[in-house]
Chain A
């Protein structure tokens, strides 16, 4: 079995836009979702700015029952379910309440942690000898697979329903796992995506590592600066992205709108050998991931029109550009266009890959390139490798054919996926 796989639905919960329409407008216009964070300031974080989706009660109630909301303390589940249900509806699919589940549809929906606020409140109760007061949902909200379990139940999914977890590559990996499952004929349709918990209890560890910026507390929207000479660390953020992947056959049969085709990709690890460590990527593995993705997709590096990078706004950005240039054998003005969503939304950790893939697929489907923001002062180590024109700072309306998207994460793990514009 070797099914072609296409994307037929998208969903997004982002600091700069909830749902597709608002998000698309925001990224086209370079709108930042980064704001001052009073809670981080009160808790004496070095970094006191963050990206949090601004959800209304109306949006939340459209995806959850009163009972579910009564004790919900998992932002990962909140964001993930809202994005997933949007993607499902966007794909033109309905929620059936049949006796049997939909055996041909499943989900691989990743997260780094689930319900860290619920963990916190549960631990306080437990240590206060009140274990019996944890209630019935402490497990469902704090198990890593909580988000896929909630989604599976809401949609009645009967195929594989699981959660993957691999730091910053989680979302991109979920798409490749879903792609494999459809390609090999084990499912017709998979809801791929990822989410993350929000707030100080998930971001604290990064603040302690001094990888978040502390120089822009007075100017939140300028804080996330991928590829900039004045980049000084990432801005912690949160949200979720969701994509419905489907066999081309199934999509055509039901006349679904097709956003793009997934040509293939690769996931690997640098094994924390050579220059690779828990927190630093092994460049050989990064380059190999990209070249293997290209090979797997059956394209040549020359075919790539645009890259959506990982590009977090740390000192590692120049290193990433160098890896892309080496892997593609393209540099200077021959380098593809490249952009980073993180300038607008910060770094949503395990949700990054899926949210950035939603932005990537929108660009292919709607013929535009969103602008990079906060990189008016490009880092000189970057401009010695590639031409500044490869890093657009204004919206470009242009038809694109092939987009390469990669993420690199803690644990020395890498993922690269290749998307192609779909033409009937």
Chain B
């Protein structure tokens, strides 16, 4: 649960849809549900990298369109770091 809370904080400045942000869940779609400008996805990725101390490659970045996929990428990279 902590990753989703951190993610919620990271996403906060990028969305004006505060209600959808409050109700964020694994099923939330960043573009469709949170109305995030697609140009800002790269900024969110940079903020995620900084927060978790990970590096996200282009292929992984392309997957990060939903909360679920984003958490999966973060967990994968954290696991790689740990390994």
Residues of A within 8 A of B (CB): 66-67, 70-71, 132-133, 135-137
Whether B39 contacts A67 by the Cβ 8 Å rule is no
The docked-state distance in angstroms from the alpha carbon of A91 to that of B81 is: 58
Q: Do residues A67 and B42 form an inter-chain contact, with CB atoms below 8 A?
A: no
Contact A133 B14 (CB under 8 A): no
Pairwise interchain contact A136-B43, C-beta atoms closer than 8 A: yes
| Distance of B21 from chain A, by nearest CB (Å) | 13
Known: A70-B13, A136-B42. 16 other contacts (CB 8 A): A66-B13, A67-B13, A67-B14, A67-B40, A70-B43, A71-B43, A132-B42, A132-B46, A133-B46, A135-B42, A135-B43, A135-B46, A136-B39, A136-B40, A136-B43, A137-B43
6 A-B residue pairs with Cβ-Cβ distance under 8 Å, sorted by A, are A66-B13, A71-B43, A132-B42, A135-B46, A136-B39, A136-B43
1/0 per position for B17-32, CB-CB distance to A under 8 A? 0000000000000000
Interchain CA distance A288-B46 in the complex, whole Å: 55
Contact string against A for B residues 38-66, beta-carbon threshold 8 Å, 1 for contact and 0 otherwise: 01101100100000000000000000000
Chain A residues within 8 Å of B14, by CB: 67
Chain B interface SS verdict (over half): helix
Question: A67's closest neighbor in chain B, by CB?
Answer: B13
Cα distance, A335 to B27, chains bound together (Å): 75
- What are the residues of chain B within 8 A of A133 when measuring CB–CB? 46
Majority SS at the chain A contact face: helix
A220 to B14, CA, bound (A): 42
Query: 8 closest Cβ contacts across the A-B interface?
Result: A136-B39, A67-B13, A66-B13, A136-B43, A136-B42, A135-B43, A136-B40, A70-B13
Count class of interface residues, chain B: under 10
Give Cα A66 to B39, complex, Å.
16
Residues of chain B contacted by A135 (CB below 8 angstroms): 42-43, 46
Cβ distance A332 to chain B, nearest Cβ, rounded Å: 61
* Closest chain B CB from A73 CB (angstroms): 14
A31 to B33, CA, bound (A): 52
CB distance from B81 to the nearest CB of A (A): 18
Tell me how far the C-beta of B42 lies from the nearest C-beta in chain A, rounded to whole angstroms: 5
Nearest CB to that of A70 among chain B residues?
A: B13
* B41 nearest in chain A by CB position: A136
Give the residues in chain B near A136, CB-CB below 8 Å. 39-40, 42-43
Nearest neighbor of B50 in chain A, beta-carbon distance? A133
Q: How far is the CA of A133 from the CA of B50 in the complex (A)?
A: 11
CA–CA, A133 and B43, complex, Å: 8
Taken together as a complex, chains A and B put the C-alpha atoms of A70 and B37 apart, in Å, by: 15
- CA distance in complex: A137, B42 (Å): 10
Report the minimal beta-carbon distance from A88 to chain B, rounded to whole angstroms: 22
B residues near A137, Cβ cutoff 8 Å: 43
Can you name the residue of chain A whose Cβ is closest to the Cβ of B45? A132
B40: chain A residues within 8 A (beta carbon): 67, 136
Within the assembled complex, what's the spacing in Å between the Cα atoms of A38 and B39?
Answer: 37
In Å, the complex CA distance between A67 and B43 comes to 10
Shortest CB-to-CB span from B14 to chain A, Å, is 6
The residue in chain B whose Cβ has the minimal distance to the Cβ of A71 is B43
Closest to A69 in B: B13
Task: Name A140's closest neighbour in chain B (CB-CB).
Answer: B39
